[in-house]
Amino acid sequence: MWYRLPLIIVIPLAAIVLAALYVTYRLVDPLPPRHLVIAAGMAGSGYDNLAGQYARILARHGVGLEIRNSAGAVENLDLLRDPLTPSTLPATSSIWITHRQSTH
């Protein structure tokens, strides 16, 4: 019986430690976003077609890409300055990919 006592303590303790490590990992290093937004110029333009290719590639990996068509560079800059799109990454000279943190 005395040899079982350590197992009664060690197994629950190990489970608690693993759960704490998992929760810490999720809080410190969150998973990449599953939804992106891209500003891609006018509908039917080369940039719009390139954004469509990005959407198909990302869809294969379970990432949604919302394509927002704009009138050109000035409107793209307005989208970049929009406070609802906090982080922005230039994909090419006239295509911008943005990431919005989910609120739910």
- Residue, of 38 and 96, whose pLDDT is higher: 38
Q: Do 95 and 76 reside in the same domain of the chain?
A: yes
Q: Do 92 and 43 reside in the same domain of the chain?
A: yes
Q: Do 18 and 66 reside in the same domain of the chain?
A: no
Write down the pLDDT at residue 20. 94
Q: Do 48 and 83 reside in the same domain of the chain?
A: yes
Q: How many domains does the chain have?
A: 2
In a domain, 104, yes or no: no
Q: Do 1 and 44 reside in the same domain of the chain?
A: no
Regarding pTM above 0.95, the answer is no
Write down the pLDDT at residue 94. 45
Six token digits for residue 17: 């430690």
41: domain range?
A: 35-99
Q: How far is 86 from 100, CA to CA, in rounded Å? A: 7
Q: How far is 56 from 32, CA to CA, in rounded Å? A: 18
Write down the pLDDT at residue 93. 43
The C-alpha angle 30, 36, 37, rounded to 5 degrees, equals 145
Q: Do 25 and 76 reside in the same domain of the chain?
A: no
Tens of pLDDT along 52-89? Answer: 998 999 999 888 888 888 887 788 777 777 776 655 44
